[in-house]
Amino acid sequence: MIYGNTKGVKRVTLETLENLITDYDKNAFVDRELLATVAEISGKLNREICVYISRSGRVMAIAMGDAGTVELKEFSLRRGSDRFSGVRVIHTHPNGNGRLSDMDLSALKHLRLDAMAAVGVNRGETTDMEVAFLEGNGFQGFYFKSAEMADDDKILKKITELEKDISVGAESTEAVPGTAILVNVTQNANGKTELSELARLADTAGLTVVAEVLQPKASPDKMFCVGQGKLDEVKRLIQTKRADYVVFNNGLTGSQLKNLEEATGVKVLDRSMLILNIFARHATSNEGKLQVELAMMKYTLPKLLGRGKELSRIGGGSGSSFTRGSGETKLEEDRRRLRRQIFELSERIEKLKSERDLRRERRRKSGVKTVAIVGYTNAGKSTLMNNVTKAGVLEEDKLFATLDPVTRKIFVDIKKEYLLTDTVGFIDNLPHEFIDAFRSTLEEAAYADVLVHVVDASSEDRFRQMKVVDDVLESLGAGGKPTVIAYNKCDLVPDFEIPSGENAVMISAKNGKGIWELKQKIEGMLF
């Protein structure tokens, strides 16, 4: 089988290339007859052709494509920080220029190839050839005016020599851990804003964003979510940016995930998977960890394809292990196991919910008032909580820095006190699996006597964020609760004015401005 863009290529030509997939002299960097045949076909088709050769001299695969888009297939060979992949790639440039491009060098790094060689082709004949190797943070290579006269012994010895020294600085030559390309397929006018929020999520998850792709499209492609043209763009970016993740703002089906990972050769996540992974990193309490695990399992179940790929991707935070397998019998076994674990986790969380309900009932009978801090993620809720109570809640300029609710008692006066709870932040398109799994925790807002809705006044997107919070509160049965809006970060927007008719105050949770006024409002609403 010949990989890549074979559309319009005659069957006899493909068969000629397929016949080249065999064993050759391992002491030759590339067999000259093989190279001559590939060059002739490359010239006739005006397409680049890649030949993948193992150290034993076997041609493992051949791929073709238009100049600049030839697919560089990643092989699952021996890989590691102390050695190369064991595969070299020789590919043609039908424009007659045998110099390596930036994309060629990126592929060399990303795939950790033994060597990458470009051969110029002019009227079906080979011209010059350039060969490059990885060396530390950069490259080393040879240039031959004639591909026919390339020094095989010199090239192969250089591969052996460089691999012996690769342990020094090897990590820097691999794809940077945690680099990601973001993709958003939407017709919404705020598509770029959505990408900005996705970038914040990626940063919180420990990923470094190296590129963003926005495709205005009425409906996502059923196979890849993006169209074929954008998919090719993403694949090129993976090579040139050395990315090892592609993160979609869209929700992806199990088949889309599978298709995308096979097409790109890197791990693919969607928005919900990214959020769930963040929850897994930030959960600290036993209940929080159980809720995250349950949310992950509920999200995974409908996507289970029997290959176990999705489970392995998001299972790290849960501590669970799943047996992988293919075939209908194994698939059903995986599904049954997952359903059983979901049932068992749900029962454990239900028990914790009963205990939480009991504590709420005791508070109600004792007459203790409760106040819940709610708001969009990263609005400054935890900073406010710490300023008011000195609770020591984690404060970070990250999304979902606080996952487990924290409650502290506030003394106002003799016989006047209330409980203040910091809740998890909300976000647009919050996975419904999260809502279901965390319902007992989120219901702190539903049972509160007063809500403090913290809003990031410096955000240009604050009105949409406020609506998201209101919608989630409504779904929890907390809509219409007595609420005071705390417009936070007012020190960053000195000209900000509270909209007319709102029960609100302007604060800076960081420096304490407006906190006294906020406490006065809360006390006035409670007592």
- 504-506, strands of its sheet edge to edge: 406-413, 416-422, 369-375, 450-456, 483-488, 504-506
Number of domains observed in the structure of the chain: 4
Give the closest residue to 72 by CA, choosing from 241, 213, 239, 240: 239
450 shares a domain with 379? yes
Highest mean pLDDT among 64-73, 406-415, 420-429, 447-456: 447-456
Q: Which pLDDT score, from 0 to 100, does residue 437 have?
A: 67
Q: Which pLDDT score, from 0 to 100, does residue 82 have?
A: 55
What average pLDDT does this structure show over 365-378?
Answer: 88
Q: Which pLDDT score, from 0 to 100, does residue 280 have?
A: 77
Q: Are 184 and 213 in contact (CB under 8 A)?
A: yes
Structure tokens at 520: 């006065």
Confidence of residue 213 (pLDDT cuts 50, 70, 90): very high
Instruction: Tell whether 361 is covered by a domain.
Output: no
Q: Which residue type does 257 have?
A: L
Instruction: Tell whether 355 is covered by a domain.
Output: no
Q: Is the pLDDT of residue 67 over 90?
A: no
Q: How much helix, strand and coil, in percent to the nearest 5, is found in the chain?
A: 40, 25, 35
Q: Is the pLDDT of residue 314 over 70?
A: no
Instruction: Tell whether 362 is covered by a domain.
Output: no
Instruction: Measure the CA–CA gap between 124 and 38, rounded to whole angstroms.
Output: 9
145 shares a domain with 23? yes
Domain interval for residue 287: 283-349
Confidence of residue 30 (pLDDT cuts 50, 70, 90): very high
- 48-54, strands of its sheet edge to edge: 3-4, 59-65, 48-54, 87-93, 115-122, 125-135, 138-144
Domain boundary among the residues 173, 195, 213 is at 173
Q: Are 496 and 490 in contact (CB under 8 A)?
A: yes
Burial 9-48 (b: 16+ CB within 10 A, else e): beeeebeebeebbeebeeebbbbeebbebbbbbbbebebb
Instruction: Measure the CA–CA gap between 380 and 377, rounded to whole angstroms.
Output: 8
402 shares a domain with 259? no
Structure tokens at 525: 């609403």
336 shares a domain with 211? no
* CATH number of the domain within which 450 lies: 3.40.50.300
Give residue-wise pLDDT tens across range 264-300: 878 899 998 888 888 877 777 777 788 788 888 888 7
190 shares a domain with 51? no
Instruction: Measure the CA–CA gap between 234 and 250, rounded to whole angstroms.
Output: 15
Give the closest residue to 191 by CA, choosing from 201, 182, 178: 182
3-state secondary structure of 102: helix
Q: What are phi and psi of 155, to 5 degrees?
A: -65, -50
Instruction: Measure the CA–CA gap between 482 and 5, rounded to whole angstroms.
Output: 62
**Strand partners of residue 505:** 486
What average pLDDT does this structure show over 392-407?
Answer: 59
According to DSSP, the β-strands at 179-185 and 208-215 are parallel
- Provide the CA 486 distance to its chain's centre, in angstroms: 32
Domain boundary among the residues 117, 143, 173 is at 173
164 shares a domain with 85? yes
143 shares a domain with 201? no
Q: Is the pLDDT of residue 391 over 70?
A: no
Give residue-wise pLDDT tens across range 236-261: 888 788 788 999 999 998 889 888 88
Confidence of residue 116 (pLDDT cuts 50, 70, 90): very high
What average pLDDT does this structure show over 348-362?
Answer: 80
Burial 137-156 (b: 16+ CB within 10 A, else e): eeeebbebeebeebeeeebb
Q: Which pLDDT score, from 0 to 100, does residue 406 have?
A: 78
Highest mean pLDDT among 166-175, 181-190, 299-308: 181-190
223 shares a domain with 112? no
pTM of the predicted protein model: 0.61
121 shares a domain with 20? yes
Instruction: Tell whether 9 is covered by a domain.
Output: yes
What average pLDDT does this structure show over 460-478?
Answer: 90
Instruction: Tell whether 220 is covered by a domain.
Output: yes
Confidence of residue 485 (pLDDT cuts 50, 70, 90): very high
Instruction: Tell whether 354 is covered by a domain.
Output: no
Q: Which pLDDT score, from 0 to 100, does residue 327 have?
A: 44
What average pLDDT does this structure show over 320-347?
Answer: 66
The string of DSSP letters for 412-456 reads: EETTEEEEEEE-PPB-TT--HHHHHHTHHHHHHHHH-SEEEEEEE
Instruction: Tell whether 233 is covered by a domain.
Output: yes
140 shares a domain with 198? no
What average pLDDT does this structure show over 479-488?
Answer: 93
Instruction: Tell whether 358 is covered by a domain.
Output: no
Confidence of residue 450 (pLDDT cuts 50, 70, 90): very high
Give residue-wise pLDDT tens across range 140-161: 999 999 999 999 999 999 998 8
Q: Dihedral (C-alpha) 22, 23, 24, 29: value to the nearest 10 degrees?
A: 90
- Residue 61 exposed, middle or buried by CB count within 10 Å (0-12, 13-18, 19+): middle
* CATH number of the domain within which 253 lies: 3.40.50.11060
Q: Which pLDDT score, from 0 to 100, does residue 182 have?
A: 97
Domain boundary among the residues 349, 384, 402 is at 349
Q: Which pLDDT score, from 0 to 100, does residue 184 have?
A: 96
Write down the number of H helices and E strands in the chain.
Answer: 16, 17
236 shares a domain with 315? no
Q: Which pLDDT score, from 0 to 100, does residue 71 have?
A: 52
Q: Is the pLDDT of residue 328 over 60?
A: no
159 shares a domain with 12? yes
Higher-pLDDT residue of 49 and 439 is: 49
